[in-house]
Chains A and B, each alone.
Chain A
Amino acid sequence: MDRYGMQNQIACIRSLFDQGYLDEQFIQLEELQDDANPNFVQEIVTLFYTDSTRLIQNIELTLNSRPINFSKLDDYMHQFKGSSSSIGAKKVTSECAVFRQYCAAGNAEAYIKQEHAILRKKLEFYFQMMGQAAVAQTT
Chain B
Amino acid sequence: MVLAESGFSSPRNDAFPAGLRVLVVDDDPTWLKILEKMLKKCSYEVTTCCLAREALNLLRERKDGYDIVISDVNMPDMDGFKLLEHVGLEMDLPVIMMSVDGETSRVMKGVQHGACDYLLKPIRMKELRNIWQHVFRKKIHEVRDIESLEGFESIQMTRSGYDLFDDGHFLSGDDTTSGRKRKDADNKHDDRELSDPSSTKKARVVWTVDLHQKFVKAVNQIGFDKVGPKKILDLMNVPWLTRENVASHLQKYRLYLSRLQKESDIKNSFIGMKHSDLPSKDSTASFGPHKAMNMIPDDVPNGTYSFSASNSLAQNVDLKGQGDLKGITSAPVAEPKGALSIDIHDSHEAKSTQMSFDHSLGSVDSAVSFASFNSTTPLQYPWTEIPEIQFKQECEPLHLENGFSQLPLPGPSMIENEANRSRIEVKPLLEESRSNFVEHLGPVGAEDLFPIQSKSQSLNNQVFDLISATKSSMKTQDVGLNYLADSEFALRNLNASGVGVPLATLSEDLQICWLQGDCYPMNYGLQDLECSTYDNPALMAETPFHLYDVLRFDHEHLFDPTEYYAIDQGLFA
Contacts and interface: CB of A to CB of B under 8 A. Distances in A.
Interface residues of chain A: helix, strand, loop or mixed (majority): helix
B121 A86 contact: yes
Bin chain B's interface residue count: 10 to 19
A78 B74 contact: yes
Interface of A: 23-25, 28-29, 31-32, 34, 37, 40, 43-44, 47-48, 51, 75, 78-79, 81-83, 85-88, 93
Contact of B122 (A28, A32, A43, A78): A28
Query: Which of B28, B33, B121, B125 has the largest count of A CB atoms less than 10 A from its CB?
Result: B28
A85 B122 contact: yes
B100 A87 contact: no
Interface of B: 27-31, 33-34, 37-38, 41, 72, 74, 99-101, 121-122, 124-125
17 contacts: A23-B122, A24-B122, A28-B122, A28-B124, A31-B125, A32-B41, A32-B125, A44-B30, A48-B30, A78-B74, A78-B101, A82-B28, A83-B28, A85-B121, A86-B31, A88-B122, A93-B100
B30 A47 contact: yes
A87 B124 CA distance: 12
A29 B28 contact: no
Contacts of A79: 27-28, 74
Nearest to B101: A78
B33 A44 contact: yes
Given A28-B122, A28-B124, A82-B99, A43 B28 contact: no
Contacts of B28: 51, 79, 82-83, 86
B284 to A, nearest CB: 30
A20 to B, nearest CB: 15
Given A44-B30, A83-B31, A85-B121, A32 B74 contact: no
Contact of B37 (A32, A48, A78, A87): A32
Contacts of B72: 82
Contacts, number: 57
Nearest to A40: B37
A44 B100 contact: no
B101 A86 contact: no
A83 B72 CA distance: 12
Contacts of B100: 78, 81-82, 85, 93
A93 B102 CA distance: 13
Contacts of B124: 28
Contacts of A34: 41
B37 A47 contact: no
A47 B29 contact: yes
A32 B29 contact: no
B43 to A, nearest CB: 13
Contact of A51 (B30, B34, B38): B30
B101 A44 contact: no
Contacts of A48: 30
A43 B29 CA distance: 11
Contacts of B122: 23-25, 28, 85-86, 88
B37 A37 contact: yes
A35 to B, nearest CB: 12
The 9 closest A-B pairs by CB, nearest first: A82-B100, A25-B122, A86-B30, A85-B122, A48-B30, A86-B31, A85-B121, A47-B30, A32-B37
Contact of A83 (B30, B37, B41, B99): B30
A86 B74 contact: no
A131 to B, nearest CB: 15
B269 to A, nearest CB: 14
A40 B38 CA distance: 11
A43 B121 contact: no
